[in-house]
Structure 1
Amino acid sequence: MRTRLVLLIVACIVAGACSDDAGPERAAPTTTAVPTSTYDVDEAMDGVREDVVRLVMERDGLDRAAAEVRADELMERGVDTEVVDQQFSLFANWMDNHQSHPVLGRHWTEDEAECAVVTMIQVEGIGRTGALMNGASVGGMAVADALSLVQPVGYCTDLLALMKTDMVDLGVPQDPDCLLAGVGEEDVAKWFVALFMHGREGFNAAMGEDLDLTCPAGS
C-alpha cells in the first residue's frame, strides 16, 4: 500500500471531502489512454479504515471499539467509492508509467513519483488530474496545463540535480556543473513548461538562454 495516497484518502475522509459533491473538477477523467489498474482497492480501503480508526483514537481520545464505530460513520458518510477508485487508478497508472514522464521521470525515485502524483491530486482534483495525464503532449499545451504538470514534479524532486544526472547519462561532452552554473531549479522547471507548450524546439530555446555555452568540451 502506498503511504502517501492512503494518507490523502484518510485526510479527505476525516475532513468529509471524499464525497461526490464537487463541480467540474470532479468530472470523471477520460480513460481511453489509461490501462485498467490491478491495484487491490478493497485491500487498500481496509488499510484506510484502520488508519482512520487510529486517527480517531488519537484525535478524540476514544477506545478502539468506539473509534471503529466512528470511523465507519465517517467512511460511510465521507467516501464516494468511485472517487476513491479513480484515485487508485490514477495512482497505479502513474506509478507504472512514471519513467516515461517527460520531466526526467526516468530519474525519479519511487518516493518522488508517489509524491508528485499525490500532490497533483491534492492540488488539481481527480478529474483534472486524469485529464492532464491523458492530455499531456510535447508541444501544444496551454500554459496553465503545462505548469500543472511541471510544478508537482518540481515540488517533489530536485530538478537541477536530475538535470545534471541526465546530462551525465547522455554523455554531454561539457561538465554539467559548468553548463548549469547559475541555473536554478526554477529555470529547469521553465524549460519543461516550454517543452509542453512549444515542443522540443521550445525546450532547447529556453535551455539555451540559461546554460553557460562557453564551457569547453571536456571541461
Structure 2
Amino acid sequence: MVSPNIRQIESTLNQLSDRNPTDSQQTSAPARESLENQGRHSPRQPHGGAPSFSMGVQPFPIGKNQSKTPKLPKLKAASISEHRHGANPALAMNLLKDIEATVTSWQQELQKLVRQIQDLYLEGPIVDGWLDSHERKTQNAQAQVRRSQTDRLRDYVEQELNQSDAKVTCQSPRTGYRLCGLDTDGQYWSRPCPPEQVPSVSLAIARYHKLRQLLSRKQELETRLNHLAETLVVLHSHLSKD
C-alpha cells in the first residue's frame, strides 16, 4: 500500500510533467518507478512517526537551441577636447590681474587730471569766448558818411581842398578787438577789448579750451570706473549665492 506522502509527490511530478511534457517525459517515469519501489520495500514506520524515504530528482536537460545574444555595433568613444571643455583655474586669476592693472592705471590718470585742473585754475582767469578784430577808423568814417547829408558832404570836400597849408599825414588804420561769447541762454554778447589786454585775454581763452579737454577725459574715466564697479557688484552677488 502506497503512503499518502508518496502520492502527493507523484501528483506534484505529474503536474510538472504536464507543464513541460517535452523535457520531463524521460525523467518522470523512472522517478515514479523508483518512488514506488522505495515505498514497497521500505519498512513501515510506527504510527505517530513521519515516514523516512530518499528521493533523487535528475536535473532538467538544457536545450541546445538557446537564444544567442545579438551582436550590437560598437560605438566610438567621443573625443572631448580639454582646451575647450577643461577647466582652467589660471584663466580666472589672469583676468582678475588684468582688470586690477587696468583699474590702477585709470585711477592714476584720474588723479593726474585732477591736479592739472587745479593748477589750471591757479594760473589765471578762464574765459569762455573768442576775440573778434575790426578796423576802428574805417568804421568811424563810414558812420560819419552815413550820418552826413548831401550838402554838408559837399562843403566838407571843398573845405579839405582849400586847406593848402595843412600838413598831410598818412596813418594806417588801427585794428580794434572785441571779446565775444554766448551766455547760458545761448544769447550772443560782445564787449570791447583794449589792445593791451589782448595777450591776457588770449591766454584766458586758451585755458578754457584746455580745461574742457581735461574735464572731458575726467568724465570718461569716471564713467568707465562706474560701469566696471556695477559689473563687479553683480558678479560678486552671483558668487555669494553659490
TM-score band (shorter)?
A: under 0.3
Bigger-Rg structure (1/2): 2
Structure with the larger strand share: 2
Structure with the larger helix share: 1
Higher relative contact order (CA 8 A, sep 6+): 1
State the TM-score, normalized to the length of structure 1: 0.19
